[in-house]
Structure 1
Amino acid sequence: MIELPALGMGCAGIGNLYRVVEDAVAVDTVAHALARGIRFFDVAPHYGFGLAECRLGDALAECDPQGEAIVSTKVGRVLEPTDSVARERHGFVQARPYGPHFDYTGDAILRSHAESLERLKRDRLNLLLAHDLGALTHGAASDGHLRTFLDSGYAAMTRLRDEGAVDAIGVGVNEIAICLALLDEVPLDVILLAGRYTLLEPETAAPLLERCAVTGTRLIVGGPFNSGILIDGSARAEQSHYDYAPPPRWVIERVRTLEALCESHGISLGAAALQFCARAAPIASTIPGLVGRDQVDATIAFQEEPIPDRFWDAVRASNACSEISAA
């Protein structure tokens, strides 16, 4: 398994998630992240339907000509040209004129990998992840997609790894159940779990953390701020997101409890949220989504902010989180 840095950058935002980001801002975000020491970038064909990969590829071609950055992308959707003129599709605004089609067959995964290489302007990738398997995305069709992946797609990913085209393979998902189900079937080098292991609800991921400790699977935590509310706080909850949607009441109340604890210990909510994710042993990296120099700088400041051990003790005692993994 390739060694991953503790902090990386999620690239959905530079694929115009929720809002339009200018090309120059997207490329400058990546350039500034590199300048500040961030070397790991996670992307997917789904993000802006190739837009995020193109922008990341442009930035890395200019700022990382030696290919030293670690790049992760995903498979499981193929992109087909579309005539849709909708301003927003699947949460992406003014995306490229392509539509995503789920396909977990080996042929589709090899095609997707090749097309990603072209958009990213790279000869090889570091991590390749099967994207969005599970009932949360597929509902009643979930079992069929899983069977296709296990019967065909997984072998194609293994072949790419064994041939040296990628360093590691795994999945990138938003639910824990599919991770456990997959680990019952096949070995995974890495799991990218988005939004399910955070300061808001760390207990939900405990079974997966324990399983990964046994299997040696490394975890990447995506969405450490739960789509923004663990930075924006309760006062701006109406403008924030939780799981890419307006936050429910229990989330707002939990955030208020955490805000009070942070204030009493003189620390920022964002720092607590980011640093919490690095405390469990199986966690290899945390990758918040970043857009703009200010978000890059704020995230690095969160990572570097001192947090006393007594804060984690206070969080545990408050029942704001039922379990806090020891450092």
Structure 2
Amino acid sequence: MSGLAHVAAGDTSIAPAPAAPETRKRGWTAYLLLLPGVLWLGVFFILPLVQLASVSLQSRYAGFPGYYYRDLNFANYASALTDYAPHFARSFLYAGLATLLAFVIAYPLAYAMAFKAGRWRSLMMICVVAPFFTSFILRTFAWSQILADEGPVATVLNFLHVLPGGAIINTPVAVVAGLTYNFLPFMVLPIYASLERADPRVIEAGGDLYANGLTTFRTVTLPMSMPGVMAGTLLTFIPAAGDFVNMELLGPQRGKMVGNVINDQFLAIPGGYPVAAALSFTLMAAILAMVFLYVRRFGTEELV
């Protein structure tokens, strides 16, 4: 009746119809579905992050380990950037080498699983995922036995006289090898997922256009798998840069990674919480900056 009244008065505009109850219900359903995840992130990520930021700016109370001034002490960050710069550089170097080695090993494996494995694909997938069913520390400890001086690797290399120093364990080589092994599945699975979704006919078209295998791989196969390469690189580099278990069990006693310094500041050094928190934030900021530059330089349109 109100619409007829407007028309009768000469007003040709139509009053907006009220929102349908089903539309409002659908909108509230989406927010309710998001609520558990938002609460989880807020309680177990945002709040601890805020607490860590607060601790990183506190000052140690002289003479009373474990007590702090609740002030704004930015000297903790200055110490993290100056006193522990070699540890950051060592962490990024080892993580970068492990990521590169993981890519060199993972790409042929993922390619074989996607295009050549046939009925063996499921078995190969199980072999890639199987290490996740064992404790990370236990796997690293087993790796220390494999690389020990009396282990099979060192014995064979010493027999061939190709092992400088006669030992692998407690060296940077062992640390990079352990990082590569432990994080290799994180590189294999994303690359395999990208290659498995690729259309084989597009790759075959390269041969039909008289391109050799290397050219086809460089111009067709590799670009199609770049989302998986990007994801695998990030999933490998980020945890490897902050890892401390491999250095603790496989590396030398001197020259620790930044993860070992953070662990020692938290657990072994009385009153080391502020420095450890500042180191954690500095590591996180450095990794975020490197990831941003990497994605901007090499990322695909979906990742930029």
Q: What TM-score do the two structures reach when normalised by structure 1?
A: 0.21
- Structure with a larger share of its residues in helix: 2
- Structure with a larger share of its residues in strand: 1
Greater Cα radius of gyration, structure 1 or 2: 2
Q: What TM-score do the two structures reach when normalised by structure 2?
A: 0.23
